[in-house]
Amino acid sequence: MTGVDTLLLGHVERGSFSIAREWTDWGAPAVEDDCEIPVSRFDLGMLLELIALIDQLAASSSKKSSTKGA
């Protein structure tokens, strides 16, 4: 992300990725004057919950597909 302050997140198994600083609670979000949408901040806890949910759905999906073939 050229010209944008970023936070680099890394995980041993999942790799790494960058998040714009304004999307985290480390920096003030940019607010457009004509925008009436409430400002949100990046929530690591919610991201981890989402990852856990996706993992559960993937595991559930693979179990269903393996029982259909039996």
Query: Which residues constitute the domain of residue 20?
Result: 6-29+37-68
Output 42 or 69, whichever has higher pLDDT.
42
Please tell me the total count of domains within the chain: 1
**Residues in contact with 20: Cβ distance below 8 Å, sequence separation at least 6, in sequence order:** 1, 4, 5, 6, 7
pLDDT tens readout for residues 7-64? 888 888 888 888 887 777 776 555 554 566 666 667 888 899 999 999 999 988 877 7
User: Is residue 48 included in any domain, yes or no?
Assistant: yes
Q: What is the pLDDT of residue 12?
A: 83
Q: What is the pLDDT of residue 7?
A: 82
User: Is residue 1 included in any domain, yes or no?
Assistant: no
User: Is residue 49 included in any domain, yes or no?
Assistant: yes
Is residue 17 within 8 A of residue 7, CB to CB? The reply is: no
pTM, to two decimals: 0.38
Phi first, then psi: give them for residue 50, nearest 5 degrees: -65, -45
User: Is residue 22 included in any domain, yes or no?
Assistant: yes
Q: What is the pLDDT of residue 49?
A: 92
